[in-house]
């Protein structure tokens, strides 16, 4: 140990002296201490930087993870693809498939799940999974009742069905017109119940949904504070009572997180019957300032396709989005049926 220490000090003194001699000093140092030179030669050359991991100097860095986005100002991060409570999840006769699909979705990183008491057996099927995986999910459900008492009763029913003791996002479901909104805002209205549930801590955030007309939703945002809004967004939607044109910007000004639905207009826009691929529809919707796009599914294959599209998402330019909207113009009446028939 002492010999090594003395040799180390000796080498240090020689190195200092030789350093003053420049290149000649380096030659003499290698001559007197060849083993040190050999060790230096064994050191691997530094690996060249991978240009794909080197920050660019020509603009802000692109986020590495495009899979999650913040939900408005709630502080919650949600997967850009959200699993809707329709499709197989609503079918009472397909419980096993529904539970398997839910488990698979969570395994793939989907953390946003949307449902409602009116979606068949959806809440019950989701509840089977919430028993063991509740902490992996941002769970949203709704009240279609406009009264205080009715909403409180519906909420308790949803808790039992979902097998949980709290809801992440509780929403006024399907606001149709201003009169409908005013009823929910009344002294004995649903909003009073929702605020109370939030104050009690059994609801984290409150929201509103609507698919017929953006006007009553704007009215609600002017009258009360909401954390999120669930609205239809697709290339055909812009041609009639457009939520994109009349609601999105106002919601953002109100710090409301935007959740998209009706991405395929219940399949009427997607191939082979419709003019678009699922990829183009999701690219369009997710290029808007949304937090998540909720889609109902019928199979595991659809789940994997949607997740892959959203994980590899390429956002569209404004020009590309306008081209899709122009392409949808011819079929917009067929695609906007939920604004007139429901």
Active site residue 266: no
d(CA 266, CA 337): 10
| Kind plus residue range of the DSSP H or E element containing 69 | strand 68-70
- At what angle are helices 95-107 and 300-311 packed, to 10 degrees? 20
Q: Which of 119, 148, 170, 284 is catalytic?
A: 119
Q: For residues 97-108, b (16+ Cβ closer than 10 Å) or e, as one string?
A: bbbebbeebbeb
Read off the tokens for 3: 């010999």
DSSP state of 189: B
d(CA 155, CA 175): 18
Structural contact between residues 171 and 228, judged by C-beta atoms closer than 8 angstroms: yes
Among residues 171, 176, 167, the alpha carbon closest in space to that of 137 is found at 167
- Which residue numbers are catalytic? 119
């Amino acid at each position: 140990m002492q010999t090594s220490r003395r040799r180390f000090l000796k080498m240090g003194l020689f190195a200092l002296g030789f350093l003053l001699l420049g290149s000649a000093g380096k030659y003499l140092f290698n001559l007197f201490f060849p083993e040190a030179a050999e060790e230096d030669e064994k050191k691997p050359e530094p690996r060249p930087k991978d240009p794909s991991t080197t920050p660019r100097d020509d603009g802000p860095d692109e986020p590495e993870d495009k899979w999650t986005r913040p939900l408005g100002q709630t502080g919650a991060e949600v997967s850009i693809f959200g699993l809707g409570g329709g499709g197989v999840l609503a079918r009472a006769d397909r419980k096993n498939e529904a539970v398997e699909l839910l488990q698979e979705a969570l395994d793939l990183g989907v953390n946003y799940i949307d449902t409602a008491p009116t979606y068949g057996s959806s809440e019950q099927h989701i509840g089977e999974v919430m028993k063991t995986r509740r902490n992996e999910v941002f769970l949203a459900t709704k009240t279609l009742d406009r009264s205080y008492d009715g909403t409180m009763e519906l909420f308790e029913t949803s808790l039992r069905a979902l097998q949980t003791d709290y809801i992440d996002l509780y929403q006024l479901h399907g606001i149709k017109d201003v009169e409908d909104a005013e009823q929910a805002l009344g002294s004995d209205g649903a909003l009073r119940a929702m605020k109370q549930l939030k104050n009690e801590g059994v609801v984290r955030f409150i929201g509103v949904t609507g698919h017929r007309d953006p006007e009553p939703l704007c009215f609600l945002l002017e009258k009360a504070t909401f954390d999120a809004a669930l609205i239809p967004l697709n290339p055909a939607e812009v041609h009639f009572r457009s939520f994109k044109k009349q609601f999105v910007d106002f919601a953002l000004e109100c710090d409301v997180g935007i959740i998209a639905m009706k991405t395929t207009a219940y399949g009427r826009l997607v191939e082979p019957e419709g003019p678009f691929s699922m990829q183009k529809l999701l690219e369009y919707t997710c290029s808007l300032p949304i937090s998540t796009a909720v889609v109902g599914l019928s199979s595991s294959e659809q789940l994997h396709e949607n997740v892959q599209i959203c994980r590899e998402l390429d956002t569209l330019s404004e020009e590309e989005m306008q081209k899709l909207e122009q392409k949808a113009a011819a079929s917009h009446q067929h695609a906007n049926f939920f604004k007139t028939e429901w």
